[in-house]
């Protein structure tokens, strides 16, 4: 039982899947800091920014403000930040736009759990010295460097399973060596959403590291008790219904690699889901919508599997439910495209809940 709030920090924070997992399980927590650049890019290089900071003797706070101003000058909204601030208790001074410019030393021993999952670009540049310098030039380097500086009690790292095979498996071998060289006891496993209560086939690699020597086991798989249909809204908004071209596309066996209809277990949600008829779709029989004039004006009524009806996208709320977010989550502060994109790029909350449950069994955060 926790006698204090769990101190958490996240990078590549996205829409806060880990934070939502704690909220769902009523685990008290406070956010030390969070970070996400919102899929924006700077034209100013890392070296140019650091040279400017050095020449002007910027403090950590001043550097953070300067980096934020550079991102603001792109004219693009940080939509990850917009969604994150709409749902979690965080102030501007605890939010970073770019992991590369976080000084983790100011947070040494001030974080209980550090969570993130770096993109795996540029790993082929990694050397063979088996140390942290091997990863320089990659965002994984910044993640590992922060572990080294912050020294959290526990870290959780998430990535796609393809990381295991990158560069013939050499990348993963060296990443594991870096974690171990940071003096953390590490455990890794691939976990699938369907094994933790969500009808979605979504495999992800997880690494859990402990500062102290702990005997940890990943959560055991459980039998799936639900299907897609348990997560559907009763009356979907009319905007989600397909016209004739969309109906014919998603029901064409030729395009099953892109679109499927009424699968009880959905495929992996993606950033571009529901656009260009990509992803999982729902068939509704005619009797269900025959009295909805708005739907009949918009949707194409066709035949699928010998039944008359209409087809629609998954709604925004349904996509978030299928990632483990409960209905308290507010996705409304961003545009329609980004609502789907942010759900598809997130981590299944139920998996994080299960991992956290096992961590709590072996780690004493009251120490």
Catalytic residue numbers read 120
- For residues 226 and 194, what is the distance between their CA atoms, to the nearest angstrom? 9
Count CA within 13 A, CB hemisphere, residue 313: 24
CB 27 within 8 A of CB 51: no
What sign for the dihedral angle of Cα 246, 249, 251, 257? negative
Which residues are registered as beta bridge partners of 308? 303
Return the HEC string of 142-210: HHHHHHHHHCCCEEEEEECHHHHHHHHHHHHHHHHHHHHHCCCEEEEEEEEHHHHCCCECCEEEEEEEE
Pair of tokens at residue 237 = 């908004």
Strands 302-304 and 307-313: antiparallel
Q: How far apart are CA 198 and CA 115, in angstroms?
A: 21
Contacts of 39 (CB under 8 A, 6+ apart): 79, 80
Max distance between CA atoms of the chain, in angstroms, equals 72
């Amino acid at each position: 039982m926790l006698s204090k709030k769990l101190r958490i920090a996240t990078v590549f924070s996205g829409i806060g899947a880990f934070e939502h997992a704690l909220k769902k399980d009523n685990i008290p927590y406070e956010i030390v800091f969070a970070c996400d650049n919102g899929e924006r890019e700077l034209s100013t290089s890392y070296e140019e920014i650091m040279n400017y900071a050095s020449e002007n003797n910027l403090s950590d706070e001043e550097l953070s403000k300067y980096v934020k101003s550079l991102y603001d000058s792109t004219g693009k909204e940080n939509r990850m930040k917009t969604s994150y601030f709409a749902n979690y208790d965080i102030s501007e001074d605890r939010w970073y736009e770019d992991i590369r410019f976080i000084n983790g030393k100011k947070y040494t021993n001030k974080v209980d759990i550090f969570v993130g999952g770096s993109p795996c670009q540029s790993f082929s540049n990694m050397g063979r010295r088996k140390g942290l310098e091997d990863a320089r030039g990659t965002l994984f380097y910044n993640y590992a460097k922060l572990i080294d500086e912050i020294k959290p009690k526990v870290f959780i790292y998430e990535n796609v399973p393809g990381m295991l095979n990158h560069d013939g498996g050499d990348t993963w071998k060296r990443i594991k060596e870096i974690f171990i060289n940071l003096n953390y006891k590490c455990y890794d496993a691939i976990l699938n959403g369907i094994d933790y209560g969500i009808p979605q086939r979504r495999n992800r690699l997880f690494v859990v590291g402990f500062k102290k020597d702990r005997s940890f086991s990943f959560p055991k798989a459980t039998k799936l008790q639900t299907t897609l249909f348990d997560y559907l809204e009763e009356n979907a908004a009319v905007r989600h219904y397909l016209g004739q071209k969309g109906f014919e596309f998603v029901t064409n066996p030729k395009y099953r690699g892109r679109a499927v209809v009424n699968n009880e277990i959905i495929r992996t949600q993606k950033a571009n889901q529901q656009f260009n008829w990509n992803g999982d779709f729902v068939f509704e029989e005619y009797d269900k919508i025959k009295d909805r004039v708005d739907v009949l004006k918009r949707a194409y009524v066709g035949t699928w599997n010998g039944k008359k009806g209409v087809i629609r996208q998954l709604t925004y709320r349904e996509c978030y439910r299928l990632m483990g977010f409960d209905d308290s989550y507010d996705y409304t502060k961003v545009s329609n495209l980004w609502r789907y994109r942010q759900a598809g790029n997130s981590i299944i909350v139920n998996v994080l809940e299960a991992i956290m449950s096992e961590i709590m069994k072996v780690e004493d955060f009251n120490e």
